[in-house]
Amino acid sequence: MRHKDENKNQAIFDSTIQLINDVGFADLSMSKIAKRANLSPATIYTYYENKEDLLIKLYLDVKEKLSRSMLRNIHEDLEIKEICYIFMKNSLEFMIENKDWFLFLEQFSASPFMNKLCMADTAPMFQNLYHHIERGISNGSLKHVRAELVISYCYFPIVQLAKEYYEGMNTTIEKEFELIFLLSWDAISQ
């Protein structure tokens, strides 16, 4: 068995994300990934069984980076309103600072590959966030609904804001963020 080089693996990941963002999933092939990464296709098969294996592992890797970013500076001592604010602010910063990763996550989430994953694959990454949201629900700070619904009211408006930013439709992102936070907070708080 050949030794796996982390630099080659990163080149495979980076090339795959770039290609998906350029040509989409339909035109993606292992040979195109290899060419973009300046590797032989055989090298990629040293790391991954097939294209599906590569894409799922790449998705989980980027999703892990997103979750770490989202949860930065969130801890037990904060009020739930502060936690939601920090979660939303961190999410937006991740999306703005990591455009290629964000666009990849968006495409993957809308692709048939998403059906290959189950909640158990990503749930542990967001366990801490769910804990805080469920605490806010149980103490009456947040509406008595499923935690997933509360999180979606915080996350998806930020996704839309990031998309508008990339399309050049929004130049006052900080001001818009504050408005979106207030609207989201009004929707989820008691």
- Overall domain count for the chain: 2
Give CA–CA dist 58/53, Å, rounded: 8
Range list of β-strands (E), the chain: none
* Residue 189 bridge partners (DSSP): 142
Could you tell me if 36 and 67 lie in one domain?
no
> How many CA within 13 A on the CB side of residue 161?
26
The pTM assigned to this predicted structure is: 0.88
Q: Within a domain: residue 105? A: yes
pLDDT band at 145 (very low <50, low <70, confident <90, very high): very high
Q: Within a domain: residue 115? A: yes
Q: For residue range 27-36, list pLDDT tens digits in order.
A: 899 999 999 9
Could you tell me if 117 and 145 lie in one domain?
yes
Give CA–CA dist 104/21, Å, rounded: 6
The parent domain of residue 43 ranges over: 1-48
Q: For residue range 98-142, list pLDDT tens digits in order.
A: 999 999 999 888 887 777 765 667 888 999 999 999 999 999 999
Give CA–CA dist 74/162, Å, rounded: 22
In this structure, what token pair is assigned to residue 105? 């996550």
